[in-house]
A and B are shown apart, each in its own frame.
Chain A
Amino acid sequence: DAKTTQPTSMDCAEGRAANLPCNHSTISGNEYVYWYRQIHSQGPQYIIHGLKNNETNEMASLIITEDRKSSTLILPHATLRDTAVYYCIVLSYGQNFVFGPGTRLSVLP
């Protein structure tokens, strides 16, 4: 069973920041939070991951709450090409990816 809950869908205006929340209230100390996205009919693509600290890379930022029970993926300037399903996944070494339903993000012109 997936260990995360995410909104089913979200809209975002092009050029604005997209903030995608994820709840993982049962996360354990050695589990990381991973974000992947899947653009229509393609394979899932890695975005970012983190354990406790906030993380940033060229694609996005990841904000993890202090109690680690939730996180937010931020796409700072969303473009039409960011329209995709975004998956938040929690797992640790030795576990396999189990996808939840994800959030369908639509970036609107």
Chain B
Amino acid sequence: DTEVTQTPKHLVMGMTNKKSLKCEQHMGHRAMYWYKQKAKKPPELMFVYSYEKLSINESVPSRFSPECPNSSLLNLHLHALQPEDSALYLCASSQPSRDRLLYTFGSGTRLTVV
């Protein structure tokens, strides 16, 4: 299995809703990431988990809450989002070595906040 699987593929939520995005990988990677991508812009790093511990939070608002229940799963809990949070949310994983830092990305969840 060489894939990162993200669910759901599409999500529409109201500003008062609570929802979660899910990311799963079975490649044994010990680092996992959330990126946010607005239309026609490059992906922006949000969170980094390394060995199931949050190592980087790129000043993301608290309405986004990441969780890493185990080494294969990464969740992003969403609450009280704003319309400007509508974007493609990408998950990635990696197993870094000194000469090969390959990231595997999922296909993303397209989120629309109404």
A binds B: yes
A residues sitting closer than 8 Å to B (CB atoms) are 32, 34, 36, 41-46, 49, 51, 85, 87, 91-102
A93 in contact with B103 (CB, 8 Å):
no
**List of 6 A-B pairs having minimum Cβ-Cβ separation, nearest first:** A43-B105, A99-B42, A93-B98, A44-B105, A43-B107, A99-B43
Chain A residue at smallest Cβ distance from B48: A96
Q: Are B92 and A43 in touch, CB under 8 angstroms?
A: yes
Query: Within the complex, which residue of B48, B96, B103, B108 is in contact with A42, where a contact is CB–CB below 8 Å?
Result: B108
**Neighbour of A43 across the interface among B4, B96, B99, CB < 8 A:** B4
Measured CA separation A87–B41 after assembly (Å): 12
Cα-based distance from A94 to B103 in the complex (angstroms): 13
Q: Say which size band chain B's interface belongs to.
A: 20 to 34
11 extra interchain contacts, Cβ-Cβ under 8 A, other than A44-B92, A96-B45, A96-B56?
A41-B88, A43-B107, A45-B105, A46-B104, A49-B101, A49-B102, A93-B97, A97-B45, A97-B92, A97-B103, A101-B41
Closest-CB distance, A68 to chain B (whole angstroms): 15
Contact of B42 among A43, A45, A102 (CB under 8 A): A102
Q: Does B81 contact A (CB under 8 A)?
A: no
**A32-B99 in contact given A43-B92, A96-B56, A100-B42 (Cβ < 8 Å):** yes
Q: Are A46 and B42 in contact (CB under 8 A)?
A: no
CB distance from B6 to the nearest CB of A (A): 8
Tell me, yes or no, whether B77 is within 8 Å of chain A by CB: no
Complex CA gap A71/B41 in Å reads 23
Residues of B within 8 A of A49 (CB): 100-102
Q: Which residues of chain B come closer than 8 Å to A96, judged between CB atoms?
A: 33, 45, 48, 56
Q: Contact: A93 with B42, CB < 8 Å?
A: no
